Amino acid sequence: MAQRRKLPGFYEKRKILFGPKTTPEKMRETGKLLMDAGRHDDALEFFERCAADDLTRLIAAEAMNAGDAPLFMRAKKVLKELITEDEWTRLAASAEKASAYSMAYVAHLKAGHEEEATRLRPRGQEPEAETPEPSKEGSPPAGKPGGK
């Protein structure tokens, strides 16, 4: 039976990420270990510092399928790629399918689909109506404390 590798803790990750002797291979290996454990954000930190576009694309694809807008955005940033309108649209559809309505809302906004975004606007985030200015009645005249 294959022995499972222990995931690096905070200090070990920091040592690998910023150590002067860390090789790109070690970065990739550690990132893959974290990715396989489902720690995608941690893995992307390592992939950003080595040649791992193939693994980063796997994370982006997984994020797209899950409708995980923040993770998809982070993966595309690591790849140094802009997100297309088509990708935002597919991401919104995946997020809705996963009942991640706030992520779908953001993706629709980014795609420029105002009507779809409005349909999904989270409760409590309705556009604010203009509030009237407070009444000046009962206020002391300017420059005169207590109005005397």
* Three-state SS letters, 11-57: HHHHHHHHCCCCCHHHHHHHHHHHHHCCCHHHHHHHHCCCCCHHHHH
Split at pLDDT 50, 70, 90, the class of 78 is very high
pLDDT score of 11: 93
Identify the pLDDT of residue 120: 84
- How long is the chain? 148
Low-confidence winner among 37-41, 110-114, 131-135 (lowest mean pLDDT):
131-135
Mean pLDDT of 107-132: 74
**Nearest CA among 131, 124, 83, 130 for reference residue 107:** 83
Instruction: Please calculate the CA angle 34-39-45 and round it to the nearest 5 degrees.
Output: 70
The model's pTM = 0.76
Rounded to an integer, the average pLDDT of 87-91 is 96
Contacts of 124 (CB under 8 A, 6+ apart): none
Which residue type sits at 144? K
| Per-residue pLDDT at 148 | 47
Of 63-67, 97-101, 110-114, 119-123, the range with the lowest mean pLDDT is: 119-123
Whether residue 43 contacts residue 34, with contact meaning beta carbons closer than 8 Å, is answered with yes
pLDDT of 14 above 70: yes
Tokens in use for 136? 């000046």
Paired tokens of 121: 């606007």
Ramachandran bin of 139, using left for φ above 0, alpha for ψ from -120 to 50, beta for the remaining angles: beta
